[in-house]
Amino acid sequence: MPQTLFDKIWNAHLVGTRADGRTLIYMDRHVLDDVRAPHAFRMLERQGRDVRRKDLTLVVQDHSVSTSPARTTRIDKAADVFVDATREAAARHHVRLLDVGDPEQGISHVVAPELGMVLPGATHACADSHAPTVGALGALGFGCGTTELVHILATQTMTLVKPKQMRIRFNGRLGSCVSAKDVILHTIGKFGIDAAQGYAVEYAGTAIESMPLEGRFTLCNMGTEFGARTGYVAPDEATFAWLSGRRFAPKGNEWEQAFACWRTLKSDDDARFDSDVSIDCDGLEPQVTWGTDPSQTIPISGVVPPSPAGHMAAHDRALSYMGFTPGVPIAGTKIDRVFIGSCTNARLSDLESAAAVVRGRKIADGVKAMIVPGSTTVKREAEARGLDAVFRNAGFAWEESGCSICAGGNRDGAKPGERCVATSNRNFENRQGAGVRTHLASPAMAAAAAIAGKLVDVRQMMDGH
């Protein structure tokens, strides 16, 4: 029987069937962040249980840390509670911690692949909805709650209901200044905010094969925003090249052995998917969200849409929150803030694409703009390439790594009514602070907005440059 790559990884991780009929799936690695670690370890201790596989456990500090260039270990008095409790719990349980100040500290979904903790064909759990990000390497990432996380700590397994399977083929090729973020925003806009609910999604097609590898993280990351349980791209030569030499990746003979195994990781030609759809990427424009969920996306040449029949109330609420009337062109909308960061778009290639726009330019008067690298490693590599100077010279703040203002979890957030162009993944009401209006876009588009002081088509800015 032909199998999808999801089937193959799933079957290879089947541990057994529990007395209640639930399937137990082995988790090869799991990551705890500072929002869940304090409760998870405490719940484990109250049950009198221990971490089963300390060596497969990684703890990170990302959500609550300051990203201030002058940070010590703190954001403010209140967040200290999480950072300190995480540090203490990791020490109590003798598990690996990437603490504030560690040269490899950063956002869990950036750090785990970057260290080679995530490998093709592996399963990976994180008590965060964006766990599927790591699918970019041909692994299966599963989000979970804190109680499920405790289950993983104690048993190294998850009780999962096998999802249905979807394949999205991205055909054609992307134009200049159009990236993975535009592809996935367009996809969510086309299919809807819960279109992949209950599915594992395979992202395939020529546009993915030719995409820079790190763009695949952006795609898999945003799968969460249309409900995907998990998602992946089959690994290829680009994947193996990206992984080679990473700290926890296999070395020497073991690499050769792994490599032979990884090359078989793809869906069979005649594998069946419950849903098999395609997206044409030829001519795709840079995208930007106008509303309060990631499906409310339009091309930069578009106008804010009128309410569709049947969804009046929600659409009108989004229009009101965002301060728009239908029919207004989105380009030209004045903006106040720019945030280039997050688990979606803060890898080295993201910063490079933003720097290409910013180089030799200044941000517009009155705009506050910040770059928050996805990890301290990314920050160091960007500095080695001189990107920090490019951004600083243009007037951007160059920050330390963390989740930052993606979810408003940092100092110095935007004010009510202000518009923030963000490279993150959620534009929900009040997410970046009470009344803050978020426009999701790619790093290149966010950089262009910072320069222009308004939403603009980055391709026009780059013409003749």
- Asked if residue 314 binds another protein (CB under 8 A), the reply is yes
In the range 254-283, which residues lie near another protein by CB under 8 A? Answer: 254, 257-258, 261
Rounded-to-integer distance, Cα 422 and Cα 228, Å: 22
Rounded-to-integer distance, Cα 287 and Cα 281, Å: 12
User: How does DSSP classify residue 132?
Assistant: G
- Asked if residue 323 binds another protein (CB under 8 A), the reply is no
Query: Could you give the count of Cα atoms lying within 13 Å of 312 in the half-sphere of its Cβ?
Result: 2
- Asked if residue 247 binds another protein (CB under 8 A), the reply is yes
Place of tokens 């799991």: 30
Strand pairing report for 29-32 and 123-126: parallel
- Asked if residue 434 binds another protein (CB under 8 A), the reply is yes
In the range 215-234, which residues lie near another protein by CB under 8 A? Answer: 227, 229
Q: Which of 329, 417 has the CB closer to another protein?
A: 417
In the range 374-403, which residues lie near another protein by CB under 8 A? Answer: none
Q: Which of 102, 209 has the CB closer to another protein?
A: 102
Residue 208 · residue 173 · CB < 8 Å: no
N-to-C CA span, the chain: 53
Work out the widest C-alpha separation in the chain, in whole angstroms: 66
State which of residues 272, 356, 429, 453 lies at the interface with another protein (CB under 8 A).
Answer: 429
Q: Which of 361, 437 has the CB closer to another protein?
A: 437
Angle at 314 between CA 312 and CA 318, to 5 degrees: 110
Q: Which of 440, 461 has the CB closer to another protein?
A: 440
Structure tokens belonging to residue 177? 């200044």
* Segment contacting another protein by CB under 8 A, of 20-28, 166-174, 207-215, 270-278: 20-28
Rounded-to-integer distance, Cα 167 and Cα 123, Å: 19
CB of 463 to another protein, least distance (A): 38
State which of residues 3, 169, 248, 454 lies at the interface with another protein (CB under 8 A).
Answer: 248
Using CB under 8 A, count the residues that bind another protein: 83
Strand pairing report for 199-204 and 230-232: parallel
- Asked if residue 244 binds another protein (CB under 8 A), the reply is no
Q: CA nearest 364: which of 396, 389, 390, 392?
A: 396
In the range 116-175, which residues lie near another protein by CB under 8 A? Answer: 117, 119, 121-122, 127-129, 131, 143-148, 150-151, 154-157, 159, 161
What b-and-e string marks burial along 228-258, b requiring 16 or more CB atoms within 10 Å of the CB?
bbbbbbbbbebbbebbeebeebbeeeebeeb
Strand pairing report for 157-159 and 14-17: unpaired
DSSP states along 160-204: -PPPEEEEEEEES---TT--HHHHHHHHHHHH-TTTTBTEEEEEE
- Asked if residue 62 binds another protein (CB under 8 A), the reply is no
Amino acid identity, residue 427?
A: N
In the range 406-425, which residues lie near another protein by CB under 8 A? Answer: 407-409, 416
Q: Which of 175, 413 has the CB closer to another protein?
A: 413
Q: Which of 177, 403 has the CB closer to another protein?
A: 403
User: How does DSSP classify residue 120?
Assistant: T
Name the burial class of residue 397, with classes exposed (0-12), middle (13-18) and buried (19+) by CB atoms within 10 angstroms of its CB: middle
Residue 443 · residue 351 · CB < 8 Å: yes
Q: Which of 67, 179 has the CB closer to another protein?
A: 67
- Asked if residue 71 binds another protein (CB under 8 A), the reply is no
Q: Which of 393, 434 has the CB closer to another protein?
A: 434
Strand pairing report for 96-98 and 57-60: parallel
In the range 26-55, which residues lie near another protein by CB under 8 A? Answer: 26, 28-29, 35-36, 38-39, 47, 49, 55
Place of tokens 């499906």: 295
Q: Which of 49, 454 has the CB closer to another protein?
A: 49
CB of 336 to another protein, least distance (A): 19
- Asked if residue 210 binds another protein (CB under 8 A), the reply is no
CB of 389 to another protein, least distance (A): 21
In the range 172-201, which residues lie near another protein by CB under 8 A? Answer: 193-194, 197-198
State which of residues 22, 74, 169, 173 lies at the interface with another protein (CB under 8 A).
Answer: 22
CB of 459 to another protein, least distance (A): 32
* Segment contacting another protein by CB under 8 A, of 164-172, 242-250, 386-394, 447-455: 242-250
CB of 145 to another protein, least distance (A): 4
Place of tokens 């990684």: 58
- Asked if residue 316 binds another protein (CB under 8 A), the reply is no
CB of 103 to another protein, least distance (A): 5
Amino acid identity, residue 345?
A: N
